[in-house]
C-alpha cells in the first residue's frame, strides 16, 4: 500500500513521538465547534448587527478596514487561540516546531503553556525530516483556509508521515473513508486517535503508507496537469 518509508536513526534530532509544526498567532465558538469555518462564524456575528452599526464600525466588504480586521481576526487572533486550545488539550506530551511568525513569543509559550519548543524548521530541507521521523504529527489547519487543507498536510503524507488534522469535508470528499481515520472533530476525538495510533504501530504504518501512495499518485503536480490538460480539459476544440 504505497512505497517504502525510510526512517533515520533514533539519534536524529527530528525523531519524536508526537509533534506540532506551525505557528500559533481568539474565538470561543470556533474552539467549541472545530468543524465550522471561522469566516462563517465571524460573518454570522456581523450580520447580527443592524446595518447602521455595521456601517459605523466599517464592518462592510467595501471598507478597507473590513478586510484588514478580518485578516487580523482569522490569521492572528483566531489561529493563536484555537491552536493553543487544541495543543493544551493534548493528554500526551509533544514537541513544538515552528513559530517563525512570532519567534519572540517562545518564552511565553514555555512559561504559560508549558510547550516544549524545539526549533524553527526550514520548510523544504528540514520539515520533511520531521514528518519522516515522527510517529504522529498533530495539526490545526490554518483558519485562513475556509475549505480544503494546506500543502503541509499533503507534504507530510507524501513523506510517509502521519498527520492528524481537524475535520475538513473537502479532504473527506477527495480521500474517502480513510480521511476520517486522520481527522478529528473535537479535542477528545483527537486524543482518542493519538492513543489508537501510538498503541497500534501496524495500523499507523498501514494508514500512512496507504495515504502516501494516494497522495503521490493522485495529487502530484504531474497528476494535476494530466487531469487539467487530458482527462478533464477546461476548453473544447
For the segment 116-167, what is each residue's pLDDT rounded down to a tens digit?
A: 888 889 999 999 999 999 999 999 999 989 888 999 999 999 999 999 999 9
**CATH classification of the domain holding 189:** 3.40.50.2000
Phi-psi region of 217 (alpha: psi -120 to 50; beta: other; left: phi over 0): alpha
pLDDT number for residue 6:
44
Residue 126 lies in a domain: yes
Mean pLDDT score of the chain: 87
Share above pLDDT 90 across residues of the chain, in percent, rounded to a whole number: 51
Residue 10 lies in a domain: no
User: From CA 129, how far away is CA 134, in angstroms rounded?
Assistant: 9
Give the H/E segment covering residue 18: strand 16-22
User: From CA 49, how far away is CA 60, in angstroms rounded?
Assistant: 11
pLDDT number for residue 101:
60
User: From CA 3, how far away is CA 210, in angstroms rounded?
Assistant: 9
217 pLDDT exceeds 90?
yes
**Pairing mode, strands 95-98 and 183-184:** unpaired
93-114 pLDDT per residue, tens:
999 998 666 666 788 888 888 8
Rg (CA), the chain: 20
Q: Which residue has the higher pLDDT, 17 or 68?
A: 68
* Domains: count for the chain: 1
User: From CA 175, how far away is CA 149, in angstroms rounded?
Assistant: 12
User: From CA 95, how far away is CA 117, in angstroms rounded?
Assistant: 6
Exposure b/e, 176-191, CB count within 10 A at least 16 = b: eeebebbbbebbeebe
pLDDT number for residue 114:
82
72 pLDDT exceeds 50?
yes
The lowest-confidence range among 43-47, 163-167, 174-178, 214-218 is 43-47
Residue 62 lies in a domain: yes
User: From CA 179, how far away is CA 165, in angstroms rounded?
Assistant: 10
Q: Residue 134 pairs with which residues in a beta bridge?
A: 16
25 pLDDT exceeds 60?
no
Residue 171 lies in a domain: yes
Mean pLDDT of all residues in 163-183: 96
3 pLDDT exceeds 80?
no
Residue 176 lies in a domain: yes
87 pLDDT exceeds 80?
yes
Residue 1 lies in a domain: no
User: What is the extent of the structural domain holding 200?
Assistant: 16-231
Residue 237 lies in a domain: no
User: From CA 80, how far away is CA 44, in angstroms rounded?
Assistant: 21
- Residues with Cβ within 8 Å of residue 144, at least 6 apart in sequence: 74, 75, 79
pTM reported for the whole predicted model:
0.81
The 3-state DSSP class for residue 139 equals: coil
Residue 4 confidence class, pLDDT cut points 50, 70, 90: very low
Residue 5 lies in a domain: no
Amino acid at each position: 500500500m504505497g512505497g517504502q518509508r525510510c526512517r533515520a536513526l533514533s539519534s536524529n534530532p527530528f525523531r519524536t513521538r508526537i509533534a506540532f509544526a506551525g505557528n500559533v498567532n481568539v474565538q470561543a465558538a470556533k474552539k467549541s465547534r472545530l468543524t465550522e469555518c471561522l469566516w462563517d462564524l465571524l460573518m454570522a456575528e456581523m450580520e447580527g448587527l443592524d446595518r447602521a452599526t455595521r456601517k459605523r464600525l466599517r464592518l462592510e466588504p467595501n471598507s478597507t478596514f473590513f478586510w484588514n480586521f478580518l485578516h487580523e481576526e482569522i490569521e492572528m487572533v483566531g489561529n493563536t487561540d484555537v491552536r493553543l486550545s487544541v495543543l493544551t488539550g493534548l493528554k500526551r506530551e509533544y514537541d513544538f516546531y515552528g513559530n517563525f511568525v512570532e519567534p519572540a513569543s517562545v518564552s511565553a509559550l514555555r512559561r504559560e503553556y508549558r510547550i516544549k519548543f524545539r526549533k524553527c524548521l526550514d520548510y523544504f530541507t528540514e520539515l520533511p525530516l520531521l514528518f519522516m521521523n515522527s510517529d504522529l504529527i498533530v495539526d490545526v489547519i490554518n483558519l485562513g483556509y475556509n475549505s480544503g487543507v494546506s500543502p503541509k498536510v499533503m507534504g507530510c503524507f507524501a513523506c510517509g508521515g502521519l498527520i492528524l488534522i481537524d475535520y475538513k469535508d473537502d479532504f473527506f470528499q477527495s480521500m474517502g473513508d480513510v480521511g476520517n481515520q486522520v481527522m478529528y472533530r473535537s479535542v477528545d476525538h483527537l486524543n482518542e486517535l493519538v492513543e489508537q495510533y501510538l498503541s497500534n504501530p501496524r495500523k499507523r504504518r498501514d494508514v500512512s503508507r496507504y495515504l502516501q501512495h494516494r497522495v503521490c499518485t493522485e495529487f502530484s503536480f504531474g497528476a494535476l496537469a494530466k487531469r487539467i490538460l487530458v482527462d478533464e480539459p477546461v476548453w473544447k476544440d
